[in-house]
Amino acid sequence: MEAISKRFFLYLSHNKAFDRMAKRWGSRFGANKIVGGETFSQAIPLITQLNEEGFQVTVDHLGEFVNSAELAKENVQQCIQSIHAIAYHQLDTEVSVKLTSLGLDISHDLIMEHMRLILSKAKESGITVTIDMEDSSRCHTILEVYKTLRREYDNLGTVVQSYLYRSEEDIDGLYEFAPYLRLVKGAYKESSKVAFPEKQRVDENLKRLIKKQLLNGHYTAIASHDEAMIDYTIGLVKEHNIPNDRFEFQMLYGMRNQLQSDLVKKGYTVRIYLPYGEDWYGYFMRRLAERPANVAFALKGIFSK
């Protein structure tokens, strides 16, 4: 049943008719419970509140798969405006970007130009930028872009997904860059030719990746709401005397709020992934696909007054 539910919501994530309807009735679909707003300005009070509660944040302007250079440029400017606002308001937040929203599928030169512009502006304000991982067909290209830019900028991280067979080798290939990595299970629909089809194998691989990255001595973000994975990480860092400033937990805004607060109270760094923007529908559906329990709050948002 869980597999059927995941396929269903991944199908909906690409349905343009539902996308149009959802954008019209966004708040009724519970969007305001997982998205910070349609603009970065709307998200600022929420980021401030999260910071005051002891959370760090990473923001993501929603959107991907852009095939227009003009739209890619607009997304770059949106990102830079957010960076300026973060610095001006002294917010404790990083920035996450999807390369397909900035021109990855248009040309290599364009994406490099755009990323260098973003990274330069972010570095001026001491802000870290993380390149989000996307579907497996773009994994190699994204990591190559990361490697090139990491030689020029130290305020850059990226993401590795444990459901891909290749991920352990990817971490080995990134070792020389002392990478800041966000480790996740993965949320895209993938073929069994490239990804583990069984949840147990995905979980086992994520544990291997967490251990490898932490024991390599590189900063690690464990992005999971899975308490078993969090407990595994806590046990691992205690066993190997890894200081708390070498890792953090990352969770999505609006999900597992009590768990987030409990970890902060215990002295762990927790970073909230806070998306914003009008193009929230596909993101929302992938979150529902990841965890069927998330459907409950969506239904509450639809039918509540």
What residues are annotated to the active site? 132, 182
Which two tokens mark 214?
A: 């932490």
User: How far, in whole angstroms, is CA 107 from its chain's centroid?
Assistant: 23
Q: What is the identity of the amino acid at 243?
A: P
Comparing C-alpha atoms, which of 198, 253, 264, 274 is closest to residue 230?
264
| Integer angstrom CA distances of residue 184 from 40, 193, 236, 290 | 25, 19, 17, 11
Q: Which of 126, 144, 134, 140 is nearest to 90 (CA)?
A: 126
State how far the Cα of 193 lies from the Cα of 206, in Å rounded to an integer: 18
**173 is written with which tokens?**
């290939």
Residues facing 107 on adjacent strands: none
DSSP state string for 164-205:
BTTHHHHHHHHGGG--EEEEE---S---TTTB--SHHHHHHH
d(CA 165, CA 161): 9
Tell me, what amino acid is at 12? L
DSSP secondary structure letter of residue 80: H
Q: Are strands 220-223 and 180-184 parallel, antiparallel or unpaired?
A: parallel
Helices (H) and strands (E) in the chain, counts: 12, 8
